[in-house]
Amino acid sequence: MITESTIFIIGAGGSEPYGFPTGQDLRKNICTQYLNNFNKLIQDAFDSENIRDNELKIAQNFTRTFYNSNTKSIDLFLSRNPDFSNSGKRSIIIEILNSERKFIKKKIKFWENDWYAYLFNRMTETLIKKDDYKKFNENKVSFITFNYDRTLENYLLNSLTNSFLFAKEDVIEQVKSIPINHVYGQVGFLPWQGKEPIIYFGQDCRLDIIDSIQKNIKIIYDFEKGIDEEINNLIREAKKIFFLGFGYAEENLKILKIPEQLEKGQKVFGTALYFNEEEILRTKHRLNGKYVSNFHKDMIIEKCDCLTLLRKYL
């Protein structure tokens, strides 16, 4: 059981152990695979050859421009070029659903650096009796994720359901009570989440369904008024803040109002797996808010993966 208020802020590196692309990989996949994937979709979506040709030209222009821009992330590119929003969101949805399908095809999953499993076991280590699943939501945890996939909530539900087989419906309510906020949205909602559009995990979608998911996908310019106050409150009230697989991009920290809303007494931990020493130092300065000033005591940014960080400091 996690009894101290803890928030996990998750970037693309948090989903990487489960076969999902990092920001860099997503850019590569879009530039090299989107046209082929999209061409297959429009063959079934449109009878008119003229419409198909026009759609393909738009997609070609998008991928060519994104590639030549050398912009590090699709989110930042779309913020700078909102006219490509339709093609950009389509490409994101296709890539994430493809990754979800690959995830479920691996029937026996022993993931390397499986921090989901470590976290789940920390959250359930005191749940011994058959009715103890009712205490799952007493864990003082919340999640802010910049990822579009639903692996975290899917993982928590599957794990808790199979730990307490006879209480499936009650288990769903327990998992739903854990705050999981997708800053940039998600590729639809799982059936048990009770929201629209319902998209099964790894669902193979037609183009019209992909387009219906677009309203769930946000990009940076959608945040001119800031994020929900609920998310701001979660950050301010946390005693511990973990950045997991997070790139510390300026635009994402700005959305979270970090470091401005870091408070006295909060302890900040973060992964920096592919960072060098100078990049880690710059990140510490970037996160250095009003009170989090002692790098060695209050702020720990380490060159390690998510699992290693949690094992040391959670």
pLDDT digits (tens, 9 = 90+) for 199-222: 999 999 899 999 999 999 988 767
CB 230 within 8 A of CB 129: no
101 and 142 co-located in one domain: no
- The number of folded domains in the chain is 2
Chain centroid to Cα 190, Å, comes to 15
Would you say residue 289 has pLDDT above 60? yes
Per-residue DSSP letters for 224-285? TT-S-HHHHHHHHH-SEEEEES----HHHHHHHTTTTT--TT-EEEEE-TT--HHHHHHHHH
90 and 204 co-located in one domain: no
155 and 85 co-located in one domain: no
Looking at residues 275-293, what average pLDDT do you find? 83
C-alpha to C-alpha distance for 238 and 233, rounded to whole angstroms: 8
Structure tokens at 281: 């130092």
- Kindly report, residue by residue over 235-280, the tens digit of the pLDDT: 999 999 999 999 999 889 989 999 988 888 899 999 999 999 999 9
pLDDT for 296 equals 47
pLDDT for 288 equals 82
Beta bridge partners of 7: 142, 241
176 and 122 co-located in one domain: yes
142 and 245 co-located in one domain: yes
Residue where a domain stops, chosen among 105, 135, 164: 105
- Kindly report, residue by residue over 105-132, the tens digit of the pLDDT: 875 566 789 999 999 999 999 999 999 9
Residue where a domain stops, chosen among 53, 75, 105: 105
260 and 129 co-located in one domain: yes
Greater confidence (199 vs 168) lies with 199
63 and 89 co-located in one domain: yes
Residues 6 or more apart in contact with residue 288 via CB below 8 angstroms: 259, 299
7 and 94 co-located in one domain: no
178 and 268 co-located in one domain: yes
Q: Quick one: which of 255, 254, 262, 270 has its CA closest to 235?
A: 262
**What confidence tier does 297 reach under pLDDT thresholds 50, 70, 90?**
low
Q: Mean pLDDT over all residues of the chain?
A: 91
Domain membership of residue 35 as a residue range: 23-105
Residue where a domain stops, chosen among 105, 127, 157: 105
pTM to 2 decimal places? 0.92
C-alpha to C-alpha distance for 283 and 307, rounded to whole angstroms: 20
118 and 131 co-located in one domain: yes
Would you say residue 173 has pLDDT above 70? yes
Structure tokens at 185: 């949205």
280 and 252 co-located in one domain: yes
Would you say residue 12 has pLDDT above 90? yes
- Kindly report, residue by residue over 49-84, the tens digit of the pLDDT: 999 999 999 999 999 999 999 999 999 999 999 999
17 and 80 co-located in one domain: no
C-alpha to C-alpha distance for 237 and 220, rounded to whole angstroms: 25
Q: Coil, strand or helix: which one is 45?
A: helix
